[in-house]
Structure 1
Amino acid sequence: MIAEFKEKVDEILRRHSCEKKELITIIQEIQKEYRYLPEEILIYVAEKMDISQSKIYGVATFYENFSLEAKGKNIIKVCDGTACHVRKSLPILNAMNKELGLSDKKKTTDDLLFTIETVSCLGACGLAPVITINDHVHPKMTPDSAVDLIRAIKKEEMQC
């Protein structure tokens, strides 16, 4: 493990005194830092906390919000619940996947700028079809407006 990663993880562990009861919070902070849970870090945490790797993987795979795969800087969630589905959320998903070169199997761009996830509900049925980008709600989307959002984010990223 790279020393920089080790320092950050050690800091997270210190803040929680390596308490086993703090495991979920520790994993949440690690995911916030890296946008996913790298395998080598989970192994390191298991050793430092003196708990089994299977226990850590059990927690990391039980909760849907944890990810063992790298995610992009911009997390796009496309609602495919009933209200969004009947208002044509799938063409929106398809347009974004095409724009980013993604598919059902490949959810994150190679540059780690975007990840697209399909979710069952975003709790905004009256705004359907709806997507979120980094938890910011975008209502009444169309394939064109979704692609325009992606292009605007790309343009903004290039200016940084």
Structure 2
Amino acid sequence: MAYEFTKEDLEEIEKIKAKFPEVMPATLPVLWVAQNRFGHVNPDVQRLVAETLDLPEAHVHGVAEFYTQYYKEEKGKFVLDVCTCLSCQLCGGYDILEHLEDKLGIKKGETTDDGMFSLNEVECLGACGYAPMLQITNDTYVNHLTKEKADQLVDSLRKGEVPEYEQIDMPLRNAK
């Protein structure tokens, strides 16, 4: 497949480039433009980004490989990133990951045959106080997961219903 940015993408990329004194810092946001356009940033897409920014392919590849949020291959419609870092691990992150593997019939790193779900094990997503948790396609966090809550999530996503942002208040210190 030949990858090309649309006219609108190129206009957005020019706006991004204008924000920086040099082009190299534009790599991350332009990779987002690419991922939003193509659903991933495989090596061919990375090459397109490098050519568009007139940067070495090795630089763009290094940036894309460093961040788990950039998908280096095609993924399912919904990507479930299950955190298994220490806080989530201690609160059952691996149990949730294994439960989702069983429910979806795939292992971490795989995509369901219908293309609906990809399942990933990821490092810290920065929500340790809400463990265990997962992120849906680089966007919505689902906190305080239980197996039942994970089942409800998958069932809702199958219907195309993405959960809304869940605000969780932080406990006040020394509250009286």
TM-score band by shorter chain is: 0.7 to 0.9
Q: Which moved more, 1:58-67 or 1:27-36?
A: 58-67
2:4 corresponding residue in structure 1: 6
Q: CA RMSD in A?
A: 2.7
After TM superposition, the score normalised by the length of structure 1 is: 0.74
**Is 2:70 aligned against 1:66?**
yes
Question: CA offset at residue 57 of structure 1?
Answer: 1.9
What is the identity, as a one-letter code, of the residue corresponding to 1:130?
M
Cα pair 2:82 2:97 within 8 Å, conserved: yes
Question: CA offset at residue 149 of structure 1?
Answer: 1.4
Deviation string, structure 1 residues 33-72 (Cα, Å, up to 9, x no partner): 2221133333344445444433332332233332211122
**Matched ranges for 1:148-159 at <5 A:** 148-156=152-160
Mapped partners of 1:115, 1:32: distance in 2:
17
Alignment size in residue pairs: 153
Question: CA offset at residue 92 of structure 1?
Answer: 1.2
**Is 2:82 aligned against 1:78?**
yes
Q: 1:127 to 1:44 in 2, by over 3 A?
A: closer
1:122 corresponding residue in structure 2: 125
Structure having the larger proportion of residues in helix: 1
Deviation string, structure 1 residues 86-105 (Cα, Å, up to 9, x no partner): 2222121111111212113x
After TM superposition, the score normalised by the length of structure 2 is: 0.69
